[in-house]
Chains A and B, each alone.
Chain A
Amino acid sequence: MSERGRMELVCPAGTPATLRAAVQAGADSVYCGFRDETNARNFPGLNFSAQEMADGIRFAHDHGSKVLVAINTFARAENTEPWRKAADTAVASGADAVIAADIAVLDHMSTNHPDTRLHLSVQAAAATPEAIGFYADAFGVRRVVLPRVLSVQEIAALNRAIAVETEAFVFGGLCVMVEGRCHLSSYAAGKSPNLNGVCSPPEAVHYVEDANGTTAQLSGFTIDRYEAGQPTGYPTLCKGRFKASGKTGHLFEDPVSLNAGSMIVAFREAGVKALKIEGRQRGKGYVSEVVRAFRRAVDAVEQGGTPTEIDSILASMSEGGRQTTGAYRKTWR
């Protein structure tokens, strides 16, 4: 892709209130899902009913924003009906695009709803021109959400080799494994992102207190331990501390989150069409704040702002937890 339109800011919404907050904070697009296992953030208290989706899309359209509906888990063999229904409902509600990963869902969309834009979910883990070309040719996919394994140089090379748009994660939670190819959660706890839309499910989490502090467990496996008085974290499996070869530590990934705000200029030069903020499980206050900051940053980039100016706009985003630019810099590997 050589043409350089304005970069699109794609923002998360786990609830109707968050959708409205994201739109008002300047989101070009909001992505969200239905309240069931058809989307990869199937957590209690999150997501949209059919009516809420229709209302949310109307609100977004009235304010000049788009809504991308994520139907990005893998349809279950015994009962594919929820996925078909989710796709049909999204289209009927006026979704601007459906984000999907499963060949069955993509096939259903391209056969029955050829006029609705299809985006390829990060859960499909398509990282090469051949794989992306396959999804474009077979289903008419118009945009691919890039797996979080590529460096920005590789993204630039990829964009030169493909005919569809790319969307890159820029901020929020960070999967360290190739998404859509990870069964760690189901191995420990029986539920997985691909099958159930959940990772390290809340009902499997237990905090065990003893004299030395708190142990965070997932289905009985110790994921991390905190000394008395230390703040405890959620035991997301790949961010835990483990032992191997006589060493103890975060063997897979530190408890960091992604902040590639400093690379927006590089993304633009690499031909990335859309920047995605992760966090559908986040509240509307957080989403408002992040979207507002990234809105200013993206606008500044579009107007030729320097990396220093961009950094100062996003400075407030780097307070608190530890952050990384992930695979976008090759040394992460």
Chain B
Amino acid sequence: MPPVALTLGPVFFHWPAERLRDFYFRIADEAPVERVHVGEVVCGKRMPFSDPVWPEVIERLEQAGKEVVLSTLATPMTVRERRSIADLCGDDRLVEINDLTALPVRSGQPFVAGPFINVYNGATAQFLVRRGARTICPPVELSLAHIAAIAQTCSDVEFEVFAFGRLPLALSGRCYHARLHGLHKDSCQFTCEQDPDGLLVDTLDDQSFLAINGVQTMSAQVHAVMQPASEFLSRGIRRLRLSPHTSDMVQVARIYRSVLDGDEEPERARTLLSNLDLPGTLVDGYARGRAGAEAVATP
């Protein structure tokens, strides 16, 4: 495995089964990522649509040598959602927990603590490591310096940083897609499917600001942390997470890989990245300990 590995995070959006299948098949065949997350994280109501596609997706990814991680729901509520978490946690593969609902049933077996688990300090990281955490992807608002401070206290776990994609900023009990369409969550008609990268939210002064994705609120801008591998390694960061969009994710992964391998300068890589069909402009404020919406600083 390379010194800094690439992980493809879970798809946050409600993509139809065929789109998911095609997407992951291409990732399996072409994307230079070592690990791939599958599964629904945002809304349990979407699961009946995507569930049937996962067995063949997992098989294809594993045949291609990818490590598959089963991601679980971030805000489980119903009996069915809680049961799905328990079922997934019984799997021999690595499981990503995104709510502590999963911890009792997964304790003692290896897991990934996803960005929805509040790991803000070393004591929390150590607590989770004692229960089986193998990789920790801390909340997106933490800076690289912050993550380094946590990693320093906790050497027996891999730290992963959310490095590409619209930022998952908030979750709610309320579905904003449904609200926008004058519907309730319980009879939502799955309008979130119409926005495969989320629905852009502008301010009254036409500033691109946020994006809604069902019960999730994301940034309109695309977070992109692009640095040489040494910068991550010196902070104890061993993985970068790329969050799927309809953009060419194979190309995104290649660009990140080329920077980590030292074949491309970060600045030129950012230009290559912004030339792709991205849902928003590039920001990286969080990584620098600033407001998340701050644009990438140009040297």
In the assembled complex, B268 has its CB within 8 A of some CB on chain A: no
A108-B123, A333-B174 are known contacts. Are A178 and B291 too (CB-CB below 8 A)?
Answer: no
Which residues of A45-64 have CB atoms within 8 Å of chain B's CB atoms? none
Q: Judge whether B291 and A104 touch: CB under 8 Å.
A: no
In the assembled complex, A107 has its CB within 8 A of some CB on chain B: yes
A80-B121, A102-B120 are known contacts. Are A242 and B203 too (CB-CB below 8 A)?
Answer: yes
- CA–CA, A74 and B184, complex, Å: 33
Q: Select which of A77, A129, A330 is within 8 A of B149 by beta carbon.
A: A77
* Chain B residues closer than 8 Å to A178, beta-carbon distance: 75, 170-173
The stretch from B17-25, B31-39, B52-60, B204-212 touching chain A is B204-212
> Which among A125, A126, A187, A333 has the greatest number of chain B C-beta atoms within 10 A?
A187
Which residues of B164-222 have CB atoms within 8 Å of chain A's CB atoms? 167, 169-176, 178-180, 184-186, 199-207, 209-210, 212, 217, 219
Interface string of B271-299 (1 = CB under 8 A from A): 00000000000000110001111000000
Q: Judge whether A176 and B172 touch: CB under 8 Å.
A: yes
A150-B77, A242-B202 are known contacts. Are A190 and B104 too (CB-CB below 8 A)?
Answer: no
- CA–CA, A130 and B79, complex, Å: 11
Q: Judge whether A242 and B201 touch: CB under 8 Å.
A: yes
Q: Judge whether A107 and B176 touch: CB under 8 Å.
A: no
- CA–CA, A25 and B27, complex, Å: 63
A104-B124, A222-B207 are known contacts. Are A128 and B82 too (CB-CB below 8 A)?
Answer: yes
Shortest CB-to-CB span from A196 to chain B, Å, is: 10
- CA–CA, A192 and B139, complex, Å: 12
Q: Judge whether A190 and B291 touch: CB under 8 Å.
A: yes
* Chain B residues closer than 8 Å to A149, beta-carbon distance: 75, 77, 172-173
In the assembled complex, B146 has its CB within 8 A of some CB on chain A: yes
The stretch from A8-16, A247-255, A274-282, A286-294 touching chain B is A247-255
- CA–CA, A252 and B177, complex, Å: 10
Q: Select which of B123, B141, B178, B180 is within 8 A of A244 by beta carbon.
A: B180
> Which among B85, B104, B150 has the greatest number of chain A C-beta atoms within 10 A?
B104
* Chain A residues closer than 8 Å to B142, beta-carbon distance: 77
Q: Select which of A127, A135, A181, A188 is within 8 A of B116 by beta carbon.
A: A181
Q: Select which of A103, A222, A333 is within 8 A of B184 by beta carbon.
A: A333
Q: Judge whether A107 and B121 touch: CB under 8 Å.
A: no
Shortest CB-to-CB span from B157 to chain A, Å, is: 14
- CA–CA, A131 and B292, complex, Å: 29
* Chain A residues closer than 8 Å to B122, beta-carbon distance: 77, 80, 104
- CA–CA, A182 and B215, complex, Å: 12
Shortest CB-to-CB span from B190 to chain A, Å, is: 15
* Chain B residues closer than 8 Å to A230, beta-carbon distance: none
* Chain A residues closer than 8 Å to B209, beta-carbon distance: 188, 221, 242
In the assembled complex, B251 has its CB within 8 A of some CB on chain A: no
Q: Judge whether B141 and A251 touch: CB under 8 Å.
A: no
Chain A-chain B contacts (Cβ-Cβ < 8 Å), number = 210
Q: Judge whether A182 and B169 touch: CB under 8 Å.
A: yes
Interface string of B136-165 (1 = CB under 8 A from A): 000111100111011001000000000000
Q: Judge whether B203 and A222 touch: CB under 8 Å.
A: yes
- CA–CA, A225 and B207, complex, Å: 14
- CA–CA, A294 and B39, complex, Å: 45
Residue in chain A with minimal CB distance to B167: A187
Q: Judge whether A224 and B204 touch: CB under 8 Å.
A: yes
Q: Judge whether B169 and A183 touch: CB under 8 Å.
A: yes
Q: Judge whether A247 and B180 touch: CB under 8 Å.
A: yes
In the assembled complex, B9 has its CB within 8 A of some CB on chain A: no
Number of A interface residues, CB 8 Å?
70
A103-B127, A149-B75 are known contacts. Are A248 and B146 too (CB-CB below 8 A)?
Answer: no
Q: Judge whether A77 and B121 touch: CB under 8 Å.
A: yes
In the assembled complex, A75 has its CB within 8 A of some CB on chain B: yes
Residue in chain B with minimal CB distance to A191: B291
- CA–CA, A243 and B74, complex, Å: 27
Q: Judge whether A183 and B120 touch: CB under 8 Å.
A: no
Q: Judge whether A75 and B99 touch: CB under 8 Å.
A: no
Q: Judge whether B120 and A74 touch: CB under 8 Å.
A: yes
Q: Select which of B104, B170, B174 is within 8 A of A134 by beta carbon.
A: B104
* Chain A residues closer than 8 Å to B169, beta-carbon distance: 182-184, 187
In the assembled complex, A42 has its CB within 8 A of some CB on chain B: no
In the assembled complex, A163 has its CB within 8 A of some CB on chain B: no
- CA–CA, A253 and B171, complex, Å: 13
* Chain A residues closer than 8 Å to B175, beta-carbon distance: 333
Q: Judge whether B203 and A243 touch: CB under 8 Å.
A: yes
A78-B149, A177-B172 are known contacts. Are A187 and B118 too (CB-CB below 8 A)?
Answer: no
- CA–CA, A294 and B99, complex, Å: 34
Residue in chain B with minimal CB distance to A79: B149
In the assembled complex, B11 has its CB within 8 A of some CB on chain A: no
Q: Select which of B82, B178, B219 is within 8 A of A130 by beta carbon.
A: B82
In the assembled complex, A259 has its CB within 8 A of some CB on chain B: no
* Chain A residues closer than 8 Å to B172, beta-carbon distance: 149, 176-178, 252
Q: Judge whether B205 and A245 touch: CB under 8 Å.
A: no
Q: Judge whether A187 and B99 touch: CB under 8 Å.
A: no
Shortest CB-to-CB span from A190 to chain B, Å, is: 4
Residue in chain B with minimal CB distance to A128: B101
In the assembled complex, A189 has its CB within 8 A of some CB on chain B: yes
Return 8 A-B CB contacts under 8 Å, by A number: A77-B146, A102-B121, A103-B128, A129-B82, A130-B105, A186-B291, A221-B293, A222-B207
Known pairs A129-B82, A134-B100, A147-B173 / 14 extra A-B pairs, C-beta < 8 Å: A74-B118, A77-B122, A77-B146, A104-B121, A108-B123, A128-B82, A128-B99, A176-B174, A181-B74, A183-B169, A184-B210, A190-B290, A190-B291, A225-B204
CB-CB nearest 4 A-B residue pairs: A149-B173, A104-B123, A74-B120, A333-B185
